[in-house]
Structure 1
């Protein structure tokens, strides 16, 4: 295999592993990320880890301080509220624009149905065993909400929305340590939202999505 390609694949694997461990709380908020310890944990070189950690700093999961090194970014009520506000702004606008693009509406709705089916399956599995399914559920939930804005026609909106929702999902997963998964309530919310979209009820879908996101302010920290 090409050395550059091989290194890129290793870097991606390390990034995904570190990110997942931060999102799921295996690496707790505020945890000091020591390179030698991470080298053993992720079987990666120091250079790969530095590059990965700087990417995670850029993505908002890790904090870097001179003379102190890297730490997992802490969580706070204020940060959560900012993420909720940004999600409402970006996601509702993206949904509205996605529903307005009639030329690609059928393909977009088909993709949305697929994302919703996967999410529903994972939500049902989460009600059976949270610990065993949390990573796949987080990905399915994130993918469904990414799909909501996928037809908006704005690459920048899609890019920034993806970044915000990744950070928000960290709060969702960490909250599972303090309260059970929302279960049927979550399934009902997503089904109702999908139904409104399929009926081309723009205002109804935007209102429900706003309510769904704003409920995230009540996550326990």
Structure 2
């Protein structure tokens, strides 16, 4: 769910070679730091890792939203395409499951992507478009699955989106102690929407007591809440 911007500034003329290099260094540094620390990482740390001054960062990206858009814009567009593919699925339930698995793979792999999808950040046009598209995709697939009798009649799209947002926020806490644990929790959540019990076992092993304690401690730490 990550990506990079173009060699142009605000869609204008191509940048000079030195300016383009600085922009690429800033994007690479931001991508690394956001993946490690989330979108709350200090901008001066990004400039320092890129080896440029703060003034250069703000000249290239005058707002935090502009930097985030440049870092994640391509990945957000990929997610839009995945949503379009899911809408065309012959089996709406399988389409929904595969689409949500793709979303959560990105949330688990990248703290920045997790923050992007589970918190409100202004001035990111691509993100605004994605959230609208995401809501429409989930609504459409859930409605089709309900029409087929696969999903409970009393489940609303708001029920599902709220539960997914809550699960998304705890993914970083479990990723370090049990990579892939989110798969089990996602499928357990989705099983609760079904009209009939699932016939296949849950993916991924359950957390051990020690892993659960470590994940809950990480969830409570400032680093996980940034």
- TM-score > 0.5 by shorter chain: no
Structure holding more strand per residue: 1
> Which structure: greater helix fraction?
1
Higher relative contact order (CA 8 A, sep 6+): 1
TM-score, normalized by length of structure 2? 0.33
